[in-house]
Amino acid sequence: MIRKKVLCSSVILSAMLLSKLYSNPQTESIEDPYKQKLIAYAVSKVKEKESSPEKQLEAYYKTITFADECPPMEDSFVKRKLGKYLSNFSFKKQQSHYLHEKAAQHLPSVSTILMSYGIPEDFKYIPLVESGMDAGVRSHKGAGGYWQFMPQTARLFGLKVNSKVDERLDLVKSTHAAARYLQYLYSEFGDWTLVAAAYNVGGGSLKSSLRRQGVDNYYALRLNSETAAYVYKLISVKEVIENPEKYGYDENLHISKG
């Protein structure tokens, strides 16, 4: 704290000196070497302050979006929560090189399908969050496949799920089904962030929460812990995959599992 105060005072004094040097109506040449050094020092300190890690982090947060919508980063609670999940999903924490591999392998085709239905590209990260792009994942409630569809929802949106066939395990077919489901949810909510939440908790449950709480904003809703974290997880996975160098990914340490 003392160091910060000293630096701040130094910057202020330097800026005042710089202002005085420029504004003082005197005949002395500005080429005076001593004056030049003072001016250079003041400018360097101002630039140093402007490019501090805190300023850089603030600037970076302003670039974060989901489905072309900006989270309300002016809300300190939202900022802290997003920071927590960005840290949790970093390669430094999880060593999740396999997610990077899966993303490179599968997300281009998933993105193409979603965009053909008019679904924002960022929804391609749902399978990474839901199943880690592992078709064999099953939830205790019966959800399965890349997109973790419940059997009845899968059938409703065009997939075969029976004792002989389970098209939830087919990435292309299940992505088409997911796109149709996301289209349906958007027709119900008209907001992509709410669509993402509804994908997790179900449209009926989300509608009840919105009506009961009298809000229309995901970030202001009180939801169960899984759904309350869901959009933050999607944003975090997106940022880790798209900006791996910011989150500790080191290609030299990566050993492919083949």
The average pLDDT across 224-241 equals 95
- Does the structure show a pLDDT above 50 at 234? yes
Q: What is the pLDDT of residues 75-110, one digit of tens each?
A: 999 999 999 999 888 876 665 678 888 899 999 999
User: Residue written as tokens 């994908």?
Assistant: 199
Which residues, including other chains, have CB under 8 Å from residue 89's CB and lie 6 or more apart?
96, 233, 236, 237, 239, 240, 247
**Which band of pLDDT confidence, cut at 50, 70 and 90, is reported for residue 197?**
very high
The average pLDDT across 42-67 equals 75
What pLDDT is attached to residue 107? 96
What pLDDT is attached to residue 179? 98
Angle at 196 between CA 160 and CA 199, to 5 degrees: 35
pTM: 0.76
CA dihedral 93, 98, 102, 104 (to 10 degrees): 80
The average pLDDT across 22-33 equals 50
What pLDDT is attached to residue 183? 98
Q: Cα–Cα distance between 156 and 154 in angstroms, integer?
A: 5
Q: Cα–Cα distance between 95 and 98 in angstroms, integer?
A: 8
The average pLDDT across 140-145 equals 94
**Which band of pLDDT confidence, cut at 50, 70 and 90, is reported for residue 232?**
very high
Which residues share a beta bridge with 138?
144
What pLDDT is attached to residue 5? 41
CATH code, residues 61-253: 1.10.530.10
- Answer whether 105's CB lies under 8 Å from 257's CB: no
Of 123 and 52, the one with more pLDDT: 123
- Does the structure show a pLDDT above 50 at 34? yes
What pLDDT is attached to residue 41? 60
Angle at 100 between CA 185 and CA 134, to 5 degrees: 60
pLDDT above 90 as % of the chain: 62
The average pLDDT across 45-74 equals 81
